[in-house]
Amino acid sequence: MTNSAFDTYIVNGNITVFLGQHSTAFKNDILNSSLLGSLASNLSSVALDAWFYSYKRTLGSIFWATKADASHSPTVKSASILTLAELTLSRYLTPAQLGQLADCLAVVKNLPEDSEALAACLNNVQRNQPVDQTTSNTARLLLTVVCENTMVISCNIMLNAASPVDITILDEEFPLEKVAPQVDLWITYLGDDNYAGIRDKVIEKLGSNIKTKLFHLNATPL
């Protein structure tokens, strides 16, 4: 079975977007392995800026092969997750694909207030919230874009806003603190043949998390 158009998933509070056509089996492999990496990084209680390193290390051990790896800190006075993603991904995605990405983030932002998927994404964005506060000015989100040629672009975005962030940070710009935002880029391919040998082990490790931490959104352009 092959799915077309674009598909959006919430993976342990992060966002994964499939552009173009991919088999259901391939999507499941990407989603399950990404979920495993995210859960492992959360459990390790690493600092926010070390989370992505831990994530990459886990996925590298289960046959996500690195093609490129880079970090940069754009000099901007205001930003959203979308604007930082566009700055980073414009050399890899077409304008039409960037438009699809914007549509996907808008779909997530406009989910019903009682949506479990929305709550998971917001909790993840605000993960650095101090225990004695109800708001946070720091936002972090892993945005994963899977291209039709099976290239996987992982974009880990962190920013410090001048005011408390909420789900609108996905595509509405917030004024930033003096600290520049950080965007980490990791381009990979899943080694299908090798991964096939551990697929069942990954699924076994995830257990019920596949049902409780993965949300498939019926993402159609707004």
120-178 confidence digits (pLDDT tens): 999 999 876 555 555 678 899 999 999 999 999 999 999 999 998 999 999 999 999 88
Confidence class of residue 221 from pLDDT cuts 50, 70 and 90?
very low
| pLDDT score at 126 | 85
**44 inside domain:** yes
**105 inside domain:** yes
**50 inside domain:** yes
CA of residue 34 relative to chain centroid, distance: 9
The residue segments making up the domain with residue 132 are 2-217
Say how far apart CA 104 and CA 108 lie, in whole Å: 6
Is the per-residue pLDDT at 222 higher than 50? Answer: no
Confidence class of residue 211 from pLDDT cuts 50, 70 and 90?
very high
- Comparing 11-25, 33-47, 191-205, the range with the smallest average pLDDT is 33-47
| pLDDT score at 209 | 97
Mean pLDDT of the region 198-215:
97
| pLDDT score at 20 | 92
| pLDDT score at 179 | 85
What letter would DSSP give residue 73? -
**222 inside domain:** no
Report percent pLDDT > 70 for the chain. 91
Each residue's pLDDT tens digit, 83-135 = 999 999 999 999 999 999 999 999 999 999 999 999 999 999 987 655 555 56
Report which of residues 104 and 45 the model is more confident about.
Answer: 104
Q: Which residues contact 68 (CB under 8 A, 6 or more apart)?
A: 185, 186, 187
| pLDDT score at 2 | 43
Is the per-residue pLDDT at 204 higher than 60? Answer: yes
**125 inside domain:** yes
The number of distinct structural domains making up the chain is 1
Whole-model pTM: value is 0.93
